[in-house]
Amino acid sequence: MQAKSTRTRPPHHRGIDSTKILKSAVQYSIMRLKDKVAIVTGASSDIGKGIAQRFVQEGAKVILVARNLEQLESTREEIGNEKQTIAVSCDLTDESQVLQAVNRIMDTWGKIDILVNNAGAINDPVHFHKMHDSDIKKLIDVNLCGVFHITKAVLSKMSQVKGGSIVNIGSISSERAIPRVHLAVYSSTKAAISMFTKSIAVEYARKNIRCNCVNPGIINSGMIKPYLDDPQARKVLEDRLPLARVGEPSDVANAVLYMASDEAEWVTGTILNVDGGETASEG
C-alpha cells in the first residue's frame, strides 16, 4: 500500500493580494516623473540645483531658469544628463521676459507639467527701520511679483490641458519670527506665498491643477554655508533641532519631488515644513 503523503499545502492568506503588492513594487521602481516637463526657477542656487537634479533622476525634462546663463550652464554640467535639461535666462520681475521664456519652453517641449517657484531673495538681517526702500522693493519684486509673473504665465498653459502641479518654496520664517534675526520684510513675503499657495490651490482645483508649498528650515545652502563651516556654530544650530542635524538641499528636493509627483494627486493647498522638527519644538 502506498504511503499517504504527509505534506500539507501552505495556508492561503486571505486579504493579501500578491498582484497588488507586485504592482505597487513595480510602480515604485518606475521613475516618478517620467516624461514630465518641469520648470525650476532659481535653479543655479543650492536648493534649486538639488531639486533639478532630483527631478532629472526621476525622468523629468527640466528647464533651469535664473538670470545668469553662465551659472545655469555650470549647473547643467554638475547635474549631468544634459539631454534632459535646458537653461533659460530670465528676469522673473520682468513680465515680458517671463512670457517669452514660457512661450519658448512650450515651443521646445510642447507642455509644462510642473512649476517649482524656488527663486527668491533674502536680505542681511537688519532692523526694519534701517532698511532702504530699494531693498524692500527688491524683496517684494523677487519673492512675490516674480512668483506671480511666472505662475500666471504657466497657469494659462496648464489650464488649457486641465492639469499640472505647482510647488512654491517658502520658509519657516513665514510662520514665526526669530529673535535677533531681523527679517521682517523677507518673512512677510514668504507668509504671503503661503496664502498665495492656498488661494491658487482652491481657485484651480476644478482644472486639476494642484498647488502646494514647501517651507525649508535651516538648510546647508546659500548665505548660511560659511557659518556652518565653523564646527562650533554648526553644533549650536544642530542642538536646537529635534533631529539634531542641519538640513541639506536633498531634504528639500525629496519633499518637492513628492508634491510634484502623481503620488500627491490628492494633496493641494498644503504647506509642508521641512525643518528637522524646529517649528514643532519652538512654536
**Cβ atoms within 10 Å of 199's Cβ, excluding its own:** 12
CATH number of 32-218+248-282: 3.40.50.720
Sheet holding 164-169, edge to edge: 85-89, 61-66, 37-41, 114-117, 164-169, 209-216, 271-274
Residues acting as catalytic residues:
186
Do residues 149 and 210 lie in contact, with contact meaning Cβ atoms separated by under 8 Å? no
Choose the weakest-confidence range: 7-16, 26-35, 72-81, 206-215: 7-16
User: At residue 210, what is the residue type?
Assistant: R
Q: State pLDDT tens for residues 185-204.
A: 999 999 999 999 999 999 99
What cell was used for 96? 515680458
pLDDT at 13: 47
**Cβ atoms within 10 Å of 131's Cβ, excluding its own:** 15
Do residues 257 and 167 lie in contact, with contact meaning Cβ atoms separated by under 8 Å? no
Q: State pLDDT tens for residues 40-60.
A: 999 999 999 999 999 999 999
pTM: 0.88
Above 50 in pLDDT, residue 5? no
Rg of the Cα atoms in the chain: 22
Q: Give the separation between CA 21 and CA 34, rounded to whole angstroms.
A: 22
Q: State pLDDT tens for residues 84-136.
A: 999 999 999 999 999 999 999 999 999 999 999 999 999 989 999 999 999 99
**pLDDT tier, 178 (very low <50, low <70, confident <90, very high otherwise):** confident
- Name the residue ranges covered by the structural domains of the chain: 32-218+248-282
Q: Give the separation between CA 220 and CA 222, rounded to whole angstroms.
A: 7
User: At residue 248, what is the residue type?
Assistant: E
Choose the weakest-confidence range: 2-16, 25-39, 226-240: 2-16
Estimate to the nearest angstrom the gap between the alpha carbon of 180 and the chain centroid: 28
pLDDT at 1: 46
